[in-house]
Amino acid sequence: MHKICYSLAMTFSKLASFFEKLEATSSRLSLISLLSELFKEIESPEEIEKVCYLVQGRIAPFFEATEIGMSDKTVAQSIARAYDSTKEDILKQYAKVGDMGKVAHALAEEGKKKKEERLSVAEVFIVLKEIAKTNGEGTVEKRLTLLSDLLKKVDSLSAKFLVRIPLGNLRLGIGDPTVLDALATARLGDKTQRHYLEDAYNRTSDLGLIAKTLWGVKNPIKAVEAVEKLEVTVGKPIRSELCERLPSPEKTIEKMGTVDSQFKYDGFRVQIHKDGDTISLFSRNLENMTHMFPEIIEGAKHQIKAKTAILDTEALAYNPDSEEFLPFQETTKRRRKHNIEETMKSLPLRSFVFDILYKNGKSLIGESLEKRLVILSETVENDDTLFVAETKKIDDAKVLSLMLDDAISKGLEGIVVKKLQSPYEAGARNFNWVKLKRNQSGELNDTIDCVILGYVFGKGKRTAFGAGALLVGIYDKKSDTFVTVSKIGTGLSDEEWKSIKERTKGLEVDHKPARVNSLITPSVWVKPEIVIEVLADEITRSPIHTAGMEVPKETKETKGTKGETVSGYALRFPRLVTFRDTDKRAEEATEVKELIEMYKQQGRK
């Protein structure tokens, strides 16, 4: 076992005790307080970096392809070796309780394994890294041996959380804004200072780096200055800028003036990073997708005329026979780890480049869109794979309406309009970018991205499916919570209903998840990770849903403090369109602010 030199190192046992407290609370304020308390006990910049990753259930930032990726069976075998049991018995217990961590905890308690060798967080982290890097012949055996040896050295509570990490199922449910609030509170004394950290996070997408930089300078003012100096770097994805909504071309021109207009393609948001001959591809939820799209890699090598560059693009599946772009449901089939070459032949991708964020050692996110588009046209050569998206400057609502009609006639989602003088605001959603979509009679003029928060057991023939309705919510960015908007019982085929239990496997929890605000209690709670696209007839007010509820409640009482009825916003006649969790994180679901704007656009007040 590797030894760590600094004497004040936090033990993994102490970290596990904090994890236990964090898991037990669903109050965001309590989460911030507990995390802040944890962070205050850490002095080393290297240690705070590791703790930030572990809080996320990881050993590296999301964009690094460093996955431990152990299967249930391999982890079960490791537990069996550590506690003198059998893999079959471990899997049988796992089937009963649904949590491998609880199985390990119970076995360690049975064996009176309450003492440990006082392993530090760093020592455990090193072994987890070793597990992730193990490859080649005998990989499975090496990994299970490393994990079982580690389990023999830790106490029962540590074992509970330790085995969850290789399975990607830590169950803390802590969002990035909550971690940033806690870092600001612990180091700067006040969570209102978070915006300094958030700006840097939007540029670097690395919470560990933010924490390490902040802890690396003793003076808080100079520490903030050091964080502010963190720049855009090739190989670290920039958090995507997102669109707001407006109801019509007329309202768009009225609010934005002259705009740059582009067709809106319904595909994967792909950020392309070029560093010489090294190409990296990242999704909008920061996942490294480089291995999935070999044709984009080849196109980027030859079509990007710069030594280093970062491009913002939308990739779509393409049918070369009919020369048509395929719907998102077809494009999503390209997100896979196996049979990539074969799938590439049947579903080749084309990537439309609509922005450039970095070129030849210089960040461009502070430049105006107008200037970036000129640089983009000089940088990307159109060919078989990459295409610079066509744009038009428009200052007339009638012309904008014609372009919207043209987009819809081509089978596209609509158009995106942007302010010409706007910088690229990483991670922001504001009226610098606005999307316009088709207006469907009797329906909202756009779909809603919701997050599954739980499900209700089915009745009738759905009894056999295990699920008969979904409790879904959206994201409240202001409070970093998930709030309910609907229960969905339509739009899923029998096969999709049957798949709900499989899709939510490992995400079910026996209590309301952290950061979830709901007056409704489903049969089974689910950690907010699965994003679905939902279509509804309209948005209404509801006393039982918490989206936009002015006085959040934890009971079914719906009276406000002054006696008036407390109402949230809800979806009327919702139905599921498709699952979007392959390309969107839960925090990228529709936000409460957006939903309220859509409600107003229906002509309501």
Cite the active site residues: 264
**Both tokens of residue 254?**
């009225």
DSSP state of 512: P
Structure tokens at 431: 């009226």
CB neighbourhood size of 190 (10 A) = 9
C-alpha 255/C-alpha 213 separation (Å) is 40
Number of other CB atoms surrounding residue 304 within 10 Å: 22
Helix (H) or strand (E) holding 497: helix 494-503
Tokens of 352: 């439309």
Q: How far apart are CA 423 and CA 419, in angstroms?
A: 9
3-class secondary structure, 187 = helix
> For 550, which DSSP code?
S
Q: Which two tokens stand for residue 363?
A: 């960040």
CA separation for the pair 103, 368 (Å, rounded): 55
Residue type for position 521: T
- What is the enclosing helix (H) or strand (E) of 212? helix 207-215
Report whether 198 contacts 228 (CB < 8 A). no
On whether the CB atoms of residues 571 and 474 are closer than 8 A, the answer is: no
Q: Name every residue whose Cβ is closer than 8 Å to that of residue 523 and which is 6 or more positions away in sequence.
A: 454, 455, 456, 457
Q: What is the CA radius of gyration of the chain?
A: 25
CA 112 to chain centre: 39
Are 311 and 290 in contact by the 8 Å Cβ rule? The answer is no
